[in-house]
């Protein structure tokens, strides 16, 4: 029954894969990957047919090995196609070569019974064959995983089904050979059903082959390092399993001692070398040199560089420190300094991971001379080569300060060039493995330095803009305050003139004292508004307030020396900012007084509508033409008065708009002006406030 199951399952697989082979031949072959696909289908058909007629024969084992080798060749063909797009990674070749080498050993082990039948123990031969097949299938699964994982997203769909079919094939084999190594007698049914399981992958191959024109793969360094790591682990287990198999029935005591010694040596090496930064640095340098066409994965480096520079978390370090770290991460430098031009000289502007106090790196004159020589081409300074005089002629001519060369921790200098101007110099300390720089280091550091310089220059520009905005805000507040001071000076001047005539009048003295107190209070308020934290951009204090006290205070302040009439219904409640409204009224009434003759009164008239209160300031003065009202009245520093600041109307409208009100104006030359304030109404004033 078992033999019959094995025959029909393998025969079914042979039939299905032969059908796929014929169908693919009719479609045609146009690419190397398709030729390998055909070869893989052919060898799978041959293996399945041999498995049906000779389940455990030598030819069947060799056909399986050839089948796996062809499928691995197909994977390599897909990975190698990335070279045409510039993604050439030498390390990928090594991984495929290692898996192919294991498959080659399978051929040799399979031929040993024919070459030396008397000297080979069947048990050792069977165990070794199982170990090699375990290693081959494990390595092949690693290749499938990394090939699919590193494929371009747009093409991953096209190779998905073929990769799934190969993965299922090798997963089944991996479990089969694992059980065979542990207990070969328990795997009879798995061998018998193997053909049926492989037959299930035929539809996946059929569907995947329809999209073979779109197979495109891009491999990264992560794929190579991952493959090498897993391959090393598999190799270790293969070595240990092989050694255990060989020594299982051996009576050679010196061989056992040698195995223990080898295991102890590997353990000590792992304990000593893996935690060592120098050893890891050496391994990384050698891997980059021998496994990859280029030292750097430029995409990964640039993404990390941009992420470090652009970090905006609340706990992120200052930009200057991030610039140092971003450049240091490229070459694995553990620390660094940033020199910047400040206060007419050059000094250490920032440091990153520098455990001690930044060293003295040159006099002011030496650093300025170095600065001038860095500007033309922004050449990276290889300080180690300069110390021994091994740099290029251009390096030997650069006037690097001697204290900078004497500081042994400094390894390389990266100029930060922005618009052909040096805005900084990053000095990096030497990594654990101190090495010489090559053209890739120079090119990448020079390019990254220019990008970092742009970020620093932008930050400096933003800081300068913020400083300018703060000065502008201060100047704006000062202009408003100066205008208010001018009005206070006018009031105090009037009090001074009247004091000469009415100093003996008790009522005048009382009024004068009240005026002086009010002026002092307003001056203190003006000084408070000049404080850095008292910006005019802050939201006004809004709420309900009675209109009459505000109107009375504003009118009383302007009545001295000129008649100002208050008319209308003043017992109203309005919504807004009482202090802001009083200030706006003061500006508008003062403008009306200044525009009117001494015998022409100014009228402040209050009226109310359904949802708003209207306050009109009316004068019969000189008036303004329509063009001035339209284009210049509410612009700062525009005035019709010879000694005017042009601030009053501008600030009045700004104050009213801030509290939700509006300001309208009607004026004609020679006929006077009418300013109308519209404020949100809040009903009649409570009786408690009218008493």
Neighbours of 188 (CB within 10 A): 12
Of 333, 313, 307, give the one whose Cα is nearest residue 451: 307
Going by C-alpha positions, the residue among 455, 433, 77, 75 that lies closest to residue 289 is: 433
pLDDT in tens, 380-432: 888 888 877 655 555 556 778 888 888 888 888 899 888 888 888 899 988 87
Mean pLDDT lowest among 56-65, 97-106, 682-691: 682-691
Total residue length of the chain: 691
Q: What is the C-alpha separation between 308 and 322, in angstroms, rounded?
A: 6
In this prediction, residue 536 carries a pLDDT of 45
| Contact indicator for 335, 353 with CB cutoff of 8 Å | yes
pLDDT reported for residue 605: 93
Q: Is the pLDDT of residue 150 over 70?
A: no
Residue 315, phi then psi, degrees to nearest 5 = -95, 10
Interval 508-521: pLDDT, tens:
777 777 777 777 77
449, 327 contact by CB (below 8 A): yes
Q: Which of 537, 549, 539, 644 is nearest to 587 (CA)?
A: 644
Beta-bridge partner residues of 42? none
Please give the average per-residue pLDDT across 671-679, as a whole number.
92
Residue 667 is inside which H or E element, if any? Answer: strand 662-668
- According to DSSP, residue 294 is labeled S
Contacts of 361 (CB under 8 A, 6+ apart): 337, 339, 348, 367, 401, 403, 404, 407, 410, 427
pTM score above 0.85? no
On whether the CB atoms of residues 623 and 633 are closer than 8 A, the answer is no
pLDDT in tens, 606-630: 998 878 899 999 999 888 888 888 8
Most confident region among 354-358, 450-454, 471-475, 607-611 by mean pLDDT: 450-454
Q: Which two tokens stand for residue 347?
A: 């000094």
CA dihedral (479, 484, 485, 490) in degrees, to 10, reads: 130
Question: What band does 155 get if pLDDT is binned at 50, 70 and 90?
Answer: low
Most confident of 78-82, 491-495, 675-679: 675-679
Nearest to 325 by CA among 352, 344, 347: 352
User: Mean pLDDT: which of 126-140, 151-165, 283-297, 438-452 is highest?
Assistant: 438-452
pLDDT at 691: 39
Determine the distance from the C-alpha atom of residue 466 to the mean position of all C-alpha atoms in its chain, rounded to a whole number: 24
| Residue 291: predicted pLDDT | 47
pLDDT tens for each residue of 4-34: 778 888 889 889 999 988 888 877 666 677 7
384 neighbors 436 (Cβ within 8 angstroms):
yes
The secondary structure of residue 415, as a DSSP letter, is: E
> Average pLDDT over the chain, rounded to whole?
76
pLDDT in tens, 470-481: 667 666 666 666
Q: What is the mean pLDDT of residues 212-232?
A: 55
Work out the percent of the chain whose per-residue pLDDT is above 70. 70
Q: Which residue has the higher pLDDT, 539 or 570?
A: 570
Model pLDDT, residue 87 = 44
pLDDT given for residue 15 in this prediction:
92
């Amino acid at each position: 029954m078992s033999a019959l199951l094995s025959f029909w399952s393998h025969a079914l697989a042979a039939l299905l894969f032969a059908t796929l082979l014929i169908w693919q031949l009719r479609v045609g072959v146009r690419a190397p990957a398709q030729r390998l696909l055909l070869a893989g289908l052919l060898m799978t058909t041959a293996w399945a047919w041999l498995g049906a007629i000779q389940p455990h024969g030598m030819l069947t084992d060799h056909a399986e090995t050839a089948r796996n080798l062809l499928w691995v060749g197909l994977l390599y063909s897909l990975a190698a196609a990335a070279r045409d797009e510039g993604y050439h990674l030498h390390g990928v070749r090594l991984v495929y070569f290692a898996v192919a080498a294991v498959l080659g050993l399978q051929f040799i082990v399979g031929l040993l019974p024919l070459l030396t039948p008397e000297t080979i123990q069947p048990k050792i031969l069977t165990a070794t064959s199982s170990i090699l097949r375990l290693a081959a299938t494990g390595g092949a699964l690693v290749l499938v995983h990394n090939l699919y994982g590193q494929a371009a997203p747009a093409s991953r769909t096209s190779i998905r089904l073929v990769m799934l079919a190969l993965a299922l094939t090798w997963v089944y084999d991996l479990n089969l050979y694992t059980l065979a190594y542990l207990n070969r007698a328990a795997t009879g049914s798995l061998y018998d059903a193997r053909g049926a399981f492989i037959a299930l992958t035929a539809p996946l191959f059929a569907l995947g082959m329809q999209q073979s024109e779109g197979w495109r793969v891009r491999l990264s360094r992560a794929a190579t390092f991952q493959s090498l790591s897993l391959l090393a682990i598999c190799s270790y287990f293969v070595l240990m399993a092989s050694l255990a198999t060989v020594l299982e029935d051996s009576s050679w005591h010196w061989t056992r001692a040698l195995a223990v010694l080898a295991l102890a040596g590997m353990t000590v090496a792992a304990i000593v070398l893996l935690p060592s930064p120098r050893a890891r640095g050496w391994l990384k340098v050698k891997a980059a040199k021998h496994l990859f066409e280029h030292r750097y994965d430029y995409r990964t480096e640039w993404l990390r560089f941009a992420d470090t520079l652009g970090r905006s978390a609340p706990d992120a370090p200052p930009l200057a420190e991030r610039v140092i770290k971003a450049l240091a991460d490229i070459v694995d430098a553990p620390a660094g300094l940033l020199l910047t031009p400040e206060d007419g000289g050059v000094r250490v502007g920032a440091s990153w991971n520098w455990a001690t106090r930044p060293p003295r790196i040159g006099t002011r004159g030496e650093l300025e001379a170095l600065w001038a020589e860095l500007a033309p081409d922004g050449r990276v300074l290889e300080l180690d080569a300069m110390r021994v005089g091994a740099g290029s002629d251009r390096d030997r001519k650069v006037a690097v300060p001697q204290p900078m060369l004497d500081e042994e921790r400094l390894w390389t200098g990266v100029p930060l060039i922005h618009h052909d101007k040096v805005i900084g110099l990053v000095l990096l300390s030497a990594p654990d493995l101190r090495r010489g720089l090559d053209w890739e280091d120079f090119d990448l550091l020079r390019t990254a330095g220019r990008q970092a310089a742009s970020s620093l220059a932008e930050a400096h520009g933003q800081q300068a803009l913020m400083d300018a905005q703060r000065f502008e805000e201060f100047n704006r507040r000062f202009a408003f305050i100066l205008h208010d001071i001018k009005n206070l000076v006018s009031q105090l001047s009037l009090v001074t003139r009247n004091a000469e005539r009415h100093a003996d009048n008790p009522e005048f003295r009382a009024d004068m004292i009240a005026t002086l107190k009010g002026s002092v209070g307003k001056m203190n308020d003006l000084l408070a508004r000049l404080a850095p934290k008292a910006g005019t951009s802050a939201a006004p204090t809004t709420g309900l307030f009675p209109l009459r006290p505000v109107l009375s205070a504003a009118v009383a302040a302007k009545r001295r020396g000129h008649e100002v009439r208050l008319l209308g219904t003043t017992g109203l409640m309005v919504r807004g900012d009482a202090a802001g409204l009083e200030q706006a009224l003061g500006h508008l009434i003062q403008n009306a007084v200044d525009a009117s003759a001494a015998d022409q009164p100014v009228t402040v008239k209050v009226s109310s509508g359904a949802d708003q209160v209207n306050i009109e300031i009316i004068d019969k003065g000189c008036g303004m033409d329509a063009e001035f009202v339209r284009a210049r009245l509410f612009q700062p520093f525009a005035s019709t008065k010879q000694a005017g600041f042009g601030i009053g109307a501008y600030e009045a409208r700004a104050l009213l708009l801030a509290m939700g009100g509006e300001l309208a104006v009607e004026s004609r030359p020679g006929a006077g002006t009418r300013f109308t304030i519209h404020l949100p109404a809040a009903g009649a004033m409570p009786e408690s406030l009218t008493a």
